[in-house]
Chain A
Amino acid sequence: QKEVEQDPGPLSVPEGAIVSLNCTYSNSAFQYFMWYRQYSRKGPELLMYTYSSGNKEDGRFTAQVDKSSKYISLFIRDSQPSDSATYLCAMSAGGGNQFYFGTGTSLTVIP
């Protein structure tokens, strides 16, 4: 069983739609949860960084963590064509420990 599971998509939505991206994990020691956006042939860019359970909002992006279900989500409101990218979830136990990445979900927002 992989440490982190993520639906690879691809996901295609019309401009303005609400996008929901999800990851599940198996290691209860994970405390830090991240979402990265990666454009083609570029390095990952940190979007959201969350510690423990709860919600975090930043502009059109909302990250949710449910540690009891070992489930994290990223919501994108009013999606834009510029949001078209691959979204990677990542998590770690902290303390400089290794990050575990999902496989990434490819998102296309159609104008």
Chain B
Amino acid sequence: GAVVSQHPSWVICKSGTSVKIECRSLDFQATTMFWYRQFPKQSLMLMATSNEGSKATYEQGVEKDKFLINHASLTLSTLTVTSAHPEDSSFYICSAGGDPGGGRYNEQFFGPGTRLTVL
């Protein structure tokens, strides 16, 4: 249980285009989803936290107009990188919080990540 998928796993786009990344909890309801980015050889940097049906809470320094987060259902959250530029190239990882059973409501379950390359 507690499987989280991300799509796509890898995307290359041209500068100025927008890219949408999907995060799905496959076998449990995710009341909260988190979006992270990770640069090579660095740790995960939390970008935003979203609860189903409400606006995302962005971390300081993260542009909410550039990184649009939608958490429309308990199993799906999307991150849209708008007008992407080469400096947005990174590894984006989502995680889901909820209770997949067994009282595991304090855990986060991570997706496999999406590698974005902006040319």
Contact present for B110 and A45 (CB under 8 Å): yes
A96-B31, A96-B32, A96-B97 are contacts. A42–B113 as well, Cβ < 8 Å?
yes
Residue of A49, A101, A103 touching B107 (CB-CB under 8 A): A49
Contact stretch, chosen from A66-74, A77-85, A87-95: A87-95
Interface size class of A (residues with CB under 8 A): 20 to 34
* Secondary structure of the B contact surface, majority rule: strand
Chain B residue with minimal CB distance to A10? B41
Q: In angstroms, how far is the closest chain A Cβ from the Cβ of B90?
A: 12
What's the Cα separation between A49 and B105 when bound, in Å?
12
A41-B91, A41-B113 are contacts. A99–B43 as well, Cβ < 8 Å?
no
Contacts of A34 in B (CB 8 A): 107
Residue of B46, B97, B105, B111 touching A43 (CB-CB under 8 A): B111
Q: In angstroms, how far is the closest chain B Cβ from the Cβ of A109?
A: 18
User: Using an 8 Å CB-CB cutoff, how does the interface string of A9-50 with B read, 1 for contact, 0 for none?
Assistant: 000000000000000000000001010100001111110010
- 29 residue pairs from A and B, CB less than 8 Å apart: A6-B43, A8-B41, A36-B110, A41-B113, A41-B115, A42-B112, A42-B113, A43-B6, A43-B110, A43-B111, A43-B112, A44-B93, A45-B110, A46-B107, A49-B107, A51-B106, A88-B43, A92-B106, A95-B106, A96-B31, A96-B32, A96-B105, A96-B106, A99-B95, A99-B108, A101-B44, A102-B43, A103-B42, A106-B41
6 interchain residue pairs of minimum CB distance: A43-B110, A43-B112, A103-B43, A43-B113, A44-B110, A94-B106
